[in-house]
Amino acid sequence: MRILAFGDSLTAGYNLPPGDAFPVKLEAALRAKGYRVQVINAGVSGDTTAGGRARLDWALADHPDYAIVELGANDALRGLDPAAALANLDAILGQFAAHRVKILLAGMLAPPNLGQDYGRAFNAIYPKLQDKWHVPLYPFFLDGVTLHPELTLPDGLHPNTRGVERIVAGILPAVEALLGPPAVGAAAGKAAP
């Protein structure tokens, strides 16, 4: 099974050793549970939802079976229009659906300094997409990491190695639910991809 981790710096592993990036840690956790998977790192630091939409054809060339879509943090940090982020993510999910890629949508929350109106509009994006596309939603990708300086880099935004491990532990049940139980018997004995 090929899982595309499609996101921004939180997926890419900003300022971390390559082996500590989210896709690598997630693949290791899934393999430890018996899944025969490859998690492809399709994270690009600084990417917005518009950037993700623009490069989606390139990412689909990896022919994933599943995708974890983690985009929107940079839109919120820059105060970009939530309606535009919604439209971009909607187009991304539509393109994945057209390619029969099963999706786990990883949500993001707006920083409180942008005000209540912006926060309400931005935070509503992910539940709206979940309802429209009938995809599972992991509500907040940085759950348990945000506001914990021991789990972030000095910038206070990006997870450190321990923070990535916390993210993986949090999202793992949702990923397992998306994949279903690991293969058993003869199929599990085949060589890994």
List, by residue number, the catalytic residues.
9, 155, 158
Quote the CA–CA distance of 83 and 171 in Å, as a whole number: 26
Whole-angstrom CA distances from 58 to 9, 23, 48, 142, 177 are 18, 18, 16, 26, 27
Helix axes 161-179, 22-32, angle to 10 degrees: 50
Locate tokens 């595309």: which residue? 4
Residue 3 main-chain phi, psi, to 5 deg: -110, 125
62 Cβ contact partners less than 8 Å away, ≥ 6 residues apart: 2, 4, 40, 42
For residue 188, the tally of other CB atoms under 10 A from its CB is: 11
